[in-house]
Amino acid sequence: MPAHPQTSTAAIVAAGRRLLEERGVDALTMRDVADAVGVRAPSLYKRVRNRSDLFRLVLEDVADELTGVLDAAAISGDPVADLRAMTAAYRGFAHANPVTYTLMMAPQAVPGATARSVRSSATFLNIVAQQAGPRHALPAARTIVAWAHGFITMELAGAFRLGGDVEQAWDFGLGRLLTAIRSPAD
């Protein structure tokens, strides 16, 4: 009779995410993950090839969750309201997952992630197209994401040191961007 599996890929990925967020990149070792799921390190290799594969699985999980969060935020049917809700959800996700968010946005985060990026961007691009027009959807979407990522990165680093209301600055910047990308036909 075969032995019952002591863990699952989902449990390994969840433990990896938790370790990354709680203790940082150096804590994502096969031994630490094995300890977190209650098995010996060699047992992980039945489900995960190596540490790089574990990173890939964790970051794919993060990207999938972010896609779900963004899609769930876009429910009003009004492109401006939906873009505000999606950027707020994006910002909230980054604050709730600062380590994995930063890793996900790194240049070589997930090799071969192009298909995943297209899927995770589909709803956002469609809504941006409603505001900016189809011809300008991609550059407008890139502008919004670049601005939001820069703002969030500065927030996470504690780089807003001049005082003032950071929420007000977020609303101001986003409002200006949404106005700036509006299609001239509107």
* Assigned fold of 1-48: Arc Repressor Mutant, subunit A (1.10.10)
| Location of each CATH 1.10.10.60 domain in the chain | 1-48
Does 173 score more than 80 pLDDT? yes
pLDDT confidence tier of residue 7, bands split at 50, 70 and 90:
confident
pLDDT confidence tier of residue 20, bands split at 50, 70 and 90:
very high
With a pLDDT cut of 70, the percent of the chain lying above it is 89
For the chain, the three-class secondary structure string (H helix, E strand, C coil) is CCCCCCCCHHHHHHHHHHHHHHHCHHHCCHHHHHHHHCCCHHHHCCCCCCHHHHHHHHHHHHHHHHHHHHHHHCCCCCHHHHHHHHHHHHHHHHHHCHHHHHHHCCCCCCCCCHHHHHHHHHHHHHHHHHHHCHHHHHHHHHHHHHHHHHHHHHHHCCCCCCCCCHHHHHHHHHHHHHHHHCCCCC
pLDDT of residue 185: 63
pLDDT of residue 6: 79
* 0.85 surpassed by pTM: yes
| Location of each CATH 1.10.357.10 domain in the chain | 58-181
**CATH number belonging to domain 58-181:** 1.10.357.10
